[in-house]
Amino acid sequence: MAKLKLKPLGSRVLVKKLKEEAEKKGIVLPEEAEKDEEYVRAEVVEVGTLEKIQLKKGDKVLLSGFGLDKKGIEVGGEELFFVKSSDILATIE
């Protein structure tokens, strides 16, 4: 079976959520806390076809949790989300 490859159109960006650093320090947040996130850390998987988007694959970003779909798309065992580039607030260095 061929692997599904998604390419966002226009100003959309395909991202995957990053695990919070707090987990690495031994603090585990309950699942309910993750559902109501105002801001979400994510990694760019693919960038849309609009040339003005200043992101590239692998960039770490901070985005508005309100712009994130409730349910992502599962591809290759990972849950991915389409977001508008305007919902991306900053890159994380």
Q: Model confidence over 13-52: pLDDT tens digits?
A: 999 998 765 444 555 555 555 555 688 899 999 999 988 8
Q: Determine the topology of domain 12-92 in CATH.
A: 10 Kd Chaperonin, Protein Cpn10; Chain O (2.30.33)
Alpha-carbon dihedral angle through residues 9, 52, 62, 79, given to the nearest 10 degrees: 20
Q: How far apart are CA 61 and CA 70, in angstroms?
A: 18
Poorest-pLDDT segment among 9-13, 33-37, 80-84, 87-91? 33-37
pTM as predicted: 0.77
Residue ranges covered by each domain of the chain: 12-92
89 token code pair: 């607030």
**Beta bridge mates, 22:** none
